[in-house]
Amino acid sequence: MVATPAPGDASDEVLAERAALGSHEAFETLALRYQARIYRLACRLVGVDDALDVVQEAFLSAFRHLGAFRRESKFSTWLYRIAMNAALMHRRSRTRRRTDSLDAFLPAFEADGSHRGTPAALQVAARADELLDRKLVAEKALALLEQLPETSRSAFVLRDLEELSTSEVALILGVEPAAVRQRVHRARLILRGLLSAMTEGAS
């Protein structure tokens, strides 16, 4: 006879199956397992003040749609998709912030296609964590992320901040991996430009 694992030891997919059959205990185990990750994601997408609302909306939506979970994908991928939608809905209910031109943060080139600037200036963004206050970097970076198109912001947050693979981000966002790479690349270039500008001012 094979013993049934305790909820805390069971895999996500087993717990999701039990939850879909009516086990509140199984769903609460999943909620506690993922709460910190979804909270962190929500902070990056909607800010700390609204993060709890998004976490609650995401898990309630997951609970109500458990019957739609298919085991072809990982439970975490499915949950991330629901959390992204909850954050998106939350953002749509807020007034959009003014959008400044982001092109100023893209790399600049000379007429012959070579980088404009000295190697030291081109590399200065890599020292942002040494030279700048962490809270200031977070504040400016999140404000800039807020101005990115939704598609770029979501891809960057999932790929680079949550450290998911490109293929998993593609599954969550329902796009091709090439589109994820393109969006993440643009966000990286713009954020690199922001860090450069901030660090030049501090050094």
Q: Name the site residues for another protein (rule: CB under 8 A).
A: 24, 27-28, 31-32, 35-36, 39-40, 43-44, 48, 51-52, 55-56, 59-60, 63-64, 107, 109, 112-115, 117-120, 122-126, 128-129, 134-135, 137-138, 141-142, 160-161, 163, 166, 178, 181-182, 184-185, 188-189, 191-192, 195-196
* C-beta closer to another protein: residue 104 or 178: 178
Least separation in angstroms between residue 130's CB and another protein is: 10
Identify whether the C-beta of residue 56 lies closer than 8 Å to the C-beta of residue 115. no
CB count within 10 Å of CB 23 equals 14
Q: Residue 172 to residues 76, 151, 154, 167, 199: CA-CA distances in angstroms?
A: 10, 12, 10, 9, 34
Q: How far is the CB of 99 from another protein (least distance, A)?
A: 19
CB of 158 to another protein, least distance (A): 12
Closer CB to another protein, residue 51 or residue 172? Answer: 51
Q: CA 200, CA 128: separation in Å to the nearest integer?
A: 9
Residue 107 DSSP symbol? -
Q: For another protein, which is the closer residue by CB, 1 or 158?
A: 158
CB atoms within 10 A of CB 130: 9
DSSP state letter for 121: H
Q: How far is the CB of 159 from another protein (least distance, A)?
A: 8
Q: Quick one: 2 or 120, whose CB is closer to another protein?
A: 120
Whether residue 38 contacts residue 55, with contact meaning beta carbons closer than 8 Å, is answered with yes
Which CB atom, from 3 or from 158, has the smaller least distance to another protein?
Answer: 158
Q: Which of 21/36 has CB closer to another protein?
A: 36
Q: Which two tokens stand for residue 53?
A: 């609302």
User: Tokens 């959390």 — which residue?
Assistant: 83
Instruction: Provide, rounded to whole angstroms, the least separation between the CB of residue 154 and another protein.
Output: 15
At CA 202, angle to CA 154 and CA 141, rounded to 5?
10
Shortest approach of another protein to residue 2 CB, angstroms? Answer: 29
What is the rounded CA–CA span in Å between residue 26 and residue 48?
A: 28
